[in-house]
Each structure stands twice: as structure tokens, then as C-alpha cells.
Amino acid sequence: MTSDHQLVDALPYIDMGFEEPGVREAVLEMVSEETRRYKATKNYLDNLSQLNLKDFETDLMRTELERLHNRQPMDMLSMKRYELPGPPAGKMTDLSAWNESVANSMAQLQHQSIRIDNLELMQRLGSEGWKQYNETLTQMQSNAQKDLQELRKHIQEVNWFRKSSQMAAGDKIKHLESEWVSLVAKNYEIERQCLHLELEISEMERKLNVNHNNESNVETNEEESDQKDE
């Protein structure tokens, strides 16, 4: 037997008698006894490391949680990047201010041009990309279904093997139990016959002793009679 062998003495496929009177009560009593031996304490989790709830928080989450804790309103969507402001009123004659405004307008124009290009590419290639994405998802689903079927098949094979092995073991146990009952009955019968023979022997010995005593008495009486005749 290998060191990693686990002996399982429960045979649920062949165990019987659970519905018999008193069995349920006996099981509940065993459970109660086990729970009485286990005394839970308030610090029974002290050997475990403390749970750090902040391990999965990001900076954005911390900022948002802090805002909610302080009951502050959510920031409105900033549209500043889409604005095209001119120079301030005090810099209407400032050339550098106008250059900054023009540069900002050119940047916004370029940004909008890129967005238009992206939309055109999406309109032309987006549907095909989504088709490929959906095909990939369908293939992933098919693979997952195959894995699930294989797993269920494996589980079914394990259950079938457990049942067949337990049924075979159950037949062997029943045969051995029947053989044991037969041997016990034979031993009982042999013991009964031995006691009967011992009683017969004792009775025969008693009778032999009685006969021997009677013979001895007869011989004694004959000797006494012979002596009287002389």
C-alpha cells in the first residue's frame, strides 16, 4: 500500500439501514458529541493573516471612494478641450496670444480630423472586426462547451467506476458475511455437539463408576459369605 493511499470505508452505493429506527438518532448523537468536543473561541482566527481590503483598490477607486465619503458632487464632464477661445480682452492686440489661440485651433482641427478618419475606418472595417470578434467568442464558447462535456463525461466515468467497484466490493462483502455466518453457525453446532458428548461421557463415566462399585460390593459380599461357610 502506498503512503498516499486514502482508505475510504464509506460505501454509499451499498450501505443500507439508514432509515431503520434509531440510526438517525445515533448519527445526530455522534455529531452532537463532536460539536461538544470542539470549543470555538473568539480568537480562533488569530492564526490567519489579517484581511487587507485595500489590496484591490486603485488610485482612481480611492479618489472616488474618498469623494463619496466626503459627500462631494461628481465632477462635470470637462468640455474645455473642445473650446476655441480667442485672446482675453486685455490681450486683443497681443500677437503671442493670437498665436496661442491659432495653435489651439489647429490642434483642435487636427484632432477632429483624426476622429473623422477613425470613424471612416470604423465604418469601413468595424463590421468585419466585430464579425471576427463574434467568431472568436463563438469559438471560445464552443471550446468551453467541449471542455464542459469532457468534464461531465469524466465525472460520469468516475461515478460509474465508484459504483461498479463498490457494487463488486458489496457482493464480496455479502459473500464473506454469509460465509462468516455459516462458519459461526457451524462453530456453534460443533460446540453444542461437544457439550452433548461431554455430557454423554460424564454419564458413561458415572455409570462405569456405579458398575465398578457394584462389582466391588458383590465381590466383597461373596468373600464374606465364603468366610462364613468355612
Over residues 145-156, the pLDDT tens digits come to 999 999 999 999
Question: What are the helix (H) ranges across the chain?
Answer: 23-37, 59-69, 95-229
d(CA 126, CA 139): 20
pLDDT top residue among 53 and 33: 33
Considering the domain boundaries, does residue 42 fall inside one?
no
Amino acid at 196: H
Domain containing 192 equals 167-220
Cell numbers linked to 30: 455522534
Considering the domain boundaries, does residue 129 fall inside one?
no
d(CA 169, CA 182): 20
* Cβ atoms of 111 and 87 closer than 8 Å: no
Q: What is the residue whose three cell numbers read 502506498?
A: 2
41: left (phi over 0), alpha (psi -120 to 50) or beta: beta
* Cβ atoms of 97 and 87 closer than 8 Å: yes
pLDDT in tens, 207-225: 888 776 766 666 666 666 6
* Cβ atoms of 123 and 139 closer than 8 Å: no
Cell numbers linked to 216: 466391588
Contacts with 121 (C-beta within 8 Å, 6 or more apart), sequence order: none
Of the CA atoms within 13 Å of residue 227, those in its CB half-sphere come to 6
Amino acid 225: pLDDT: 63
Considering the domain boundaries, does residue 207 fall inside one?
yes
Contacts with 124 (C-beta within 8 Å, 6 or more apart), sequence order: none
Backbone Cα Rg of the chain:
51
Could you give the maximum distance between any two Cα atoms of the chain, in Å?
A: 187
Over residues 147-176, mean pLDDT: 93
Amino acid 117: pLDDT: 95
Contacts with 81 (C-beta within 8 Å, 6 or more apart), sequence order: 108
Cell numbers linked to 120: 471612416
Over residues 165-169, mean pLDDT: 88
pLDDT at 96 over 80: yes
17: left (phi over 0), alpha (psi -120 to 50) or beta: left
SS (H, E, C) 186-212: HHHHHHHHHHHHHHHHHHHHHHHHHHH
Considering the domain boundaries, does residue 185 fall inside one?
yes
Considering the domain boundaries, does residue 119 fall inside one?
no
pLDDT at 107 over 70: yes
Q: How many domains does the chain divide into?
A: 1
Q: Which residues of 108-134 are buried (b: 16+ CB within 10 A; e: fewer)?
A: eeeeeeeeeeeeeeeeeeeeeeeeeee
